[in-house]
Amino acid sequence: MADPTYGTRQDVERNVKALFPNGFSATSVPTDEDVEEKLLAFQARVRQILHVKLGGTLPAADTDAGRVAVDAVVVGTTWWVLSVALASHPEGASLVKRWELQYQDAIRQLRELPEEVTDPATEQVRVRYDDPAARRPARFTDGQLAGTEPIW
């Protein structure tokens, strides 16, 4: 089974739409190739943290743990994009710092995940045993359940 994808370039582009209204390109700074490269690097880092934390099982992107992983990858890549794009801007450092803190918080959340993260679909499974031969007759009468007759 292939590793889950935590975040996409489109997720990052949504965060920086004001700076890159047409998305990333071969001529933008950073370029689309640079962004893809960094996105893969952040994904590898997050997978490494999850692999160590969860013992090799990577959660799907649509689970709670997976959403934290997606957030870490997208926020981390956005942080890097803004640090490159706003490197010469006088107020760029304060905006970049906010994204850096969000990334650090997402990584902290990943490291604080419980040791076992289960898939929500697995948690919903119920076992039902419905064998008519195993049914017992009712022990209480309707009157006992209604409170009009004594139970004992």
Q: What is the pLDDT of residues 90-133, one digit of tens each?
A: 888 988 999 999 999 999 999 998 876 544 444 444 444 555 55
What tokens does 142 get? Answer: 């309707």
26 burial type by CB count under 10 A (0-12 exposed, 13-18 middle, 19+ buried): exposed
Find the mean pLDDT for residues 61-75. 94
Cα separation, 82 vs 64, whole angstroms: 27
Kindly tell me if the per-residue pLDDT of 151 is higher than 60. yes
Cα separation, 110 vs 4, whole angstroms: 15
Lowest-confidence pick of 5-14, 32-41, 123-132, 137-146: 123-132
Which of 71, 66, 60, 43 minimizes the C-alpha distance to 113? 66
Q: What is the pLDDT of residue 36?
A: 96
What is the residue-averaged pLDDT of the chain? 84
Q: What is the pLDDT of residue 90?
A: 86
Which of 13, 11, 35, 34 minimizes the C-alpha distance to 22? 13
| End-to-end Cα separation, the chain, in angstroms | 59
Q: What is the pLDDT of residue 141?
A: 66
Kindly tell me if the per-residue pLDDT of 152 is higher than 80. no
